[in-house]
Amino acid sequence: MDLMKKIFLTSIILFLSATAMACPACEQQQPKLLKVITHGAGPDSNWDYVIVSITAIIVLFCLFFSVKWLLRPGEKSATHIKFSILNLD
């Protein structure tokens, strides 16, 4: 079995088992969508969903470009500052 399949199946099993372990306060206060994801008091208004959604988009955007530029930095100019300390001979 492929490593990615193992990770995917393990994450699904862990996610589904977390629903069985929700505390009684979360069972009463959280909307059905958020019962596994959050803990404590539920959202006060629909603005809470908007704020969390925008924050999640910003985090995913930053994560994507962090990984992209870590794997392929793309500095090809001979005058880039990295070439002042690198000895490519």
Indicate the pTM of the whole model: 0.53
**31 inside domain:** no
How many other β-carbons are positioned within 10 Å of the β-carbon of residue 26?
Answer: 18
Give the model confidence (pLDDT) of 12-65 as tens digits: 887 766 655 667 777 777 777 776 667 777 778 889 889 989 999 999 999 999
Domain enclosing residue 78, as ranges? 44-89
| CA 58 to chain CA mean position, Å | 10
How many structural domains is the chain composed of? 1
The residues near 19 (Cβ < 8 Å, ≥ 6 apart) are: 35, 36
Task: Say if residue 71's pLDDT is above 80.
Answer: yes
Task: Say if residue 80's pLDDT is above 90.
Answer: no
**82 inside domain:** yes
**30 inside domain:** no
Residue 50's pLDDT is 93
**8 inside domain:** no
> Quick one: three-class SS letters along 51-79?
HHHHHHHHHHHHHHHHHHHHHCCCCCCCC
**37 inside domain:** no
**15 inside domain:** no
| CA 56 to chain CA mean position, Å | 8
**8's tokens:** 């995917």
